[in-house]
Homo-oligomer: A and B are copies of this chain.
Amino acid sequence: MTRTARAFTNIALIKYWGKKNKQWKLPYTNSLSLTLDRFYTDTKLTIIDSDKDIVSLNHKILNDQENKRILNYLDTVRKLYSFEDHFQVDTVNHVPTSAGFASSASGFAALAGAINETKQLNLNRQELSILARNGSGSASRSIYGGFVEWIAGDSNETSFAKPIDETPKIDLVLLSVVINQQSKKISSTNGMENSVKTSPFYPNWVTLVASELQEIKQAIAKKDLQKIGEIAEHNAMSMHALTLSANPSFTYFAPETIRIIQIVKELRQKGIFAYATIDAGPNVKIICTKESLEKVQTYIEQQLSNVNTVIANIGSGIQYI
């Protein structure tokens, strides 16, 4: 049996920041994302007659160290679904590091999809979202297209994403501004854990997310672009306030991150639609409209010499190819 699944990456507008259960990757709060069309992972799975899995990434066989996270995941899945087969996993990532997105969301969503198909588990999308979440929390959201909410839940069976609007007729485009810098020093897993354990503000983050989720869902229903942008920007900055107030304090911001935040404000002062969101790294993703996109891109390229910009539109859920 050989099957290939394709899953797209997503950008969280209401961030996932903090696990209440590490083993099952259960978050403290719901989160809400937009699936993107530009960055995706294709994962081909073949059942092999072996007691070891073989994994290739971008046509290069990985060693056990590089593989560790995927091998652990496959062990978990074998236990959960009571089978013994081993796989050849051939993954091609169309999420270049230079685009400023993590590949774990699209990667584990594609892998979950490929397992479901290859092993004919007949999972529905909710079950598939759970399977993807077992690999990476944000992968639970990449099962669906458009706007997606991940319900925190309180057990493996109750923590999954669900679609809010899979094909929204909404004029939003994402511009990723990528800073040329070495990779982040604090993984999002460690960053979350430090924030949960040591930020005096974490309890209020949980309350904040609950109210901003309600607000952004109303704004999505009304297609209120400005409101969506405002809430997303505030939510992201509040997440970064958790890192700054962790003890010891840390930040994912690079000097250029601050400059891009300034630029986004300057653009709004000029009447150009632009809102910033930032994940666990120095790059800034700017929420634009089709109309503002070119102005935003031009202004950024004028102001900053050492960045790349990449455009992404709203994308769809998992596909089988």
Residues of chain A at the chain B interface (Cβ within 8 Å): 199-201, 203-205, 207-208, 230, 233-234, 237-238, 240-242, 244-245, 247-249, 251, 253-259, 261
Check B255–A237 contact: CB distance below 8 A.
Answer: no
> Given known contacts A201-B201, A201-B204, is B230 in contact with A248 (CB within 8 Å)?
yes
State the oligomeric state as a number of copies.
Answer: 2
A251 / chain B contacts, CB cutoff of 8 Å: 258, 261
**How distant is A207 from chain B, measured CB to nearest CB, in Å?**
7
Check B259–A255 contact: CB distance below 8 A.
Answer: yes
Interface of A is mostly: helix
A230 / chain B contacts, CB cutoff of 8 Å: 248
Check A253–B247 contact: CB distance below 8 A.
Answer: no
Check B255–A244 contact: CB distance below 8 A.
Answer: no
A259 to B179, CA, bound (A): 14
With CB as the reference atom, state the residue of chain B lying closest to A243.
B241
A257 to B249, CA, bound (A): 14
Check B261–A258 contact: CB distance below 8 A.
Answer: no
CB-contact partner of A200 in B200, B207, B253, under 8 A = B207
Check A254–B244 contact: CB distance below 8 A.
Answer: no
With CB as the reference atom, state the residue of chain B lying closest to A230.
B248
**How distant is A319 from chain B, measured CB to nearest CB, in Å?**
36
**How distant is A14 from chain B, measured CB to nearest CB, in Å?**
13
A240 / chain B contacts, CB cutoff of 8 Å: 244
A203 / chain B contacts, CB cutoff of 8 Å: 204
